[in-house]
Structures are given as structure tokens and as C-alpha cells.
Chains A and B, each alone.
Chain A
């Protein structure tokens, strides 16, 4: 990954984070769609997925700074009868999958419209 790509990645990840913070979780597919619309490359879907996961990870890290996320995680894991790790992974995979789906679908929709 070159510097330009790295900066792009960080900007996109933080885009996901800021949108989630301000609008809510549903902004993840919206941001992914916009990203895909402008980048136009279906191969970038993985890039978007990683950025979305990274964006939510950065928000989670902020939570860790501000409160007992570990305690919360183990309690919720107890409630849901899951290993705590699974809950964290789910938290990162959920936005990643949303972003991947959108970034995969939008370029083809655009292509179809252009054609």
C-alpha cells in the first residue's frame, strides 16, 4: 500500500466512523455506496469493507478510553451465550459486510445505468 492509498484508506475509515457517530449505523452502506459510486471499481469493495471495519474499530477504541467496554463485552457475551471475542468480531464484521455488499453492487448498477 502506497502513501496515497493509505491516506485514502484512513479518510474512508474515518468517513465511516464520523457518519456512524453522527447519523447511525445505517450510514455505513450509504458511505460505501458513495465511495463505490465515485471510485467506480468493484475490486475496491474489499478496500471499503476493511475501511468500514477499521472505522468502527476506531470508534470502539474511543469507547474503551471512555468506559468499561471489557466489562460490557463479557456481560453481553454472557447474555447472548457467546464468547466475548465473538461479539467484538461481530461488531467489526457487521459494517465490513455492509460496506462490501454496497461497494460490490453499486458500480454495476452505475454501469448498467450508463449503458
Chain B
């Protein structure tokens, strides 16, 4: 049927990978032997591509909180908060998030992706403008498309380019939403937030920062890049996810703007989807407490990040611009990426293989995310697996 014709290039690309002995989209973690070890293809494998920055997915306090909520409130909410009502846990988590970020309000969404969509589509519609960093995550691009606002890119972290675009907009800057990320998900670099907030103030625009990869990772209290850069007061909206450093699933937005409460009534991604289940909310609340009370996790995360970055650099791999919990090996050709990824898996190390066009510069990446929970032995296994790539045979030629 012709309706499926558009999927043919995808089918060809997957077949090409399979011909190289790689089925990267169908990796199955058959069982877990430790928080960062799973059995893949029958082999014990260290997981170095999880975004589980603080290693909380197996934390006993989080698990206990989830189990209690399951027993007391059941497995799911079976609908949206607008229709089915709020659970006490939803409200409590929103209060706790607002307090943690020292903001007047918070909204919890069902996923991080939904939080971005929910906020962007409600804030910027027809007649408004969205300016996004060109390296922003796909969810931010989707938020632009779904809302109906005009949207434009500025060159990645190029403040002059951002300013130039704001200048061209003239009076429209009052209706402009700028969107950047705390830590960019592919190369692990940070937004130049001090400069961005200065420009934003000069032009009277609104600023939303997605702290998905920086919550629990940056800032003395773990609030993210805005805290680290000392510009929290100049960021209008902070959006984040529970599915990385908090180890669950869900998303949120915090803000001092009183209009945040109205977003609940207009945000279709908030209204027309089921709310997070009680066990998810309970484990997220427990994880948020741990994030605030155990800063040593953040220290350990950064030690591991520095170690892997330095070791890979010493092996002459081309990496992102600075150490970060996201460490990507930048490669020039797809065949090499595939051969390397396969070798790493054979050596019991799982990382993310990211192929263009999902990468910032059109070249493939082997993306690692390190965690506070990685043991010294696991870190060593990751490094040794990368060292073994030097004798990988000539990679297959790929389109």
C-alpha cells in the first residue's frame, strides 16, 4: 500500500544495520544483575547509556515508597487530572518541586517530552515566535511545530546570532519565547546561560530552560544550570524530567509567573493524557529528597565523568568540548560507529549509538552517560572496552 512507501528508507537503513550484524533498535535487557548491569544476548553487560545520573533506579527508599503507594493507591490513575481528579501525591510533588526551586508554582506532567510539549504549545501559539538553539532536543522542535507559532533557530550557543535574530524581530520580541537546554543531550555541553539571560532581558523576551540533563547534575543544590550560572531569577520557566537523575518517569515545569496555573486549563498535552501513577509519584518524591540530602552522589557522578572523559581523551578519541556526565565519542563514518558499537557490546558494555540526522553535525556518535552508581570496576570495564576498539577490523562501508 502506498501509505507505507514513506517508511521504505527506514526499512532499508535498518536492514543495512542488520547486514552488519547490528540490531541497535532492538536491544533487550533480559534481566538485571546489578543496578548498572544487565544481561544482553546472554552476556553480563555494563550499562553506560542510561541517563541514570544519580543511580537511583534501584534505591531502596525509592522502591519502598513506590511499593507502599502501589498497595495504598493502586497501579494507575486511569485518566487525566482534569477529568479524574488529582491524587494527593500529585499535589504534594508539585509543592515539593516549587519549594526545591524556590518558585511560586509547579506543574507535573506525565513525561518529560509531554512537559515540553505542554508548556511550549501553551505559551507560544499563532502570532508568537519561538527561537530555539539549533542543538535542542527533538521534543523542543515538536513543541514548536505543534503550537502553531513561527519558529526559528539560532546557531548553537552563538549569542551574537541569537541577538541578531532578536533584533530582526523588532517589536515581536515581546511575544518571543527563547528555548535552550541546561546540558545538551548529544554532546553534553552547556548553554551559555549568563549571556543568554542578558540578551533576553535586553529584548524583553521570555526564556524557558530545559534542565532535563542538568537537574541533579549541576548547581550546588542540584537545581541545574540556572542555579550554577546564578541566573535563576532571569529564567521564566524551568522544565525538567523525572526520567534521568530522579530515575522514574514524568516531567515538570516550575515558574514564578502566576499564569502557570492557567496552563493546566489550556495545555492539551496536560489535559488529554493520563496522569502519572501513584507509585511513580511516590518514588519521584523519594528521589527528589535524596537529590537534596545526598550531595555526595553529585560529587561521585562528576568524579566518574572526569575519569571517563580523561581516559577516552588519552586514547585520542574526539569528544565533546568539556567533561560532563554525557560523553560522546565523535566519529566520521557510520561504518566505524557500527563496528565500534558492536565491539563494545561484545566486550560487555552498552552505550548509545546515535546516527545522523539525530546528531548535531551530521556525524555519528557513540554516546555514553555515566552515573554516580557506576562502580570503579564498571568504569574500568567501560574504559577497557573502548581501548579494545583500536584493533577493530576495517569497518563495513555504509551509505
Q: Answer whether A and B are interacting partners.
A: no
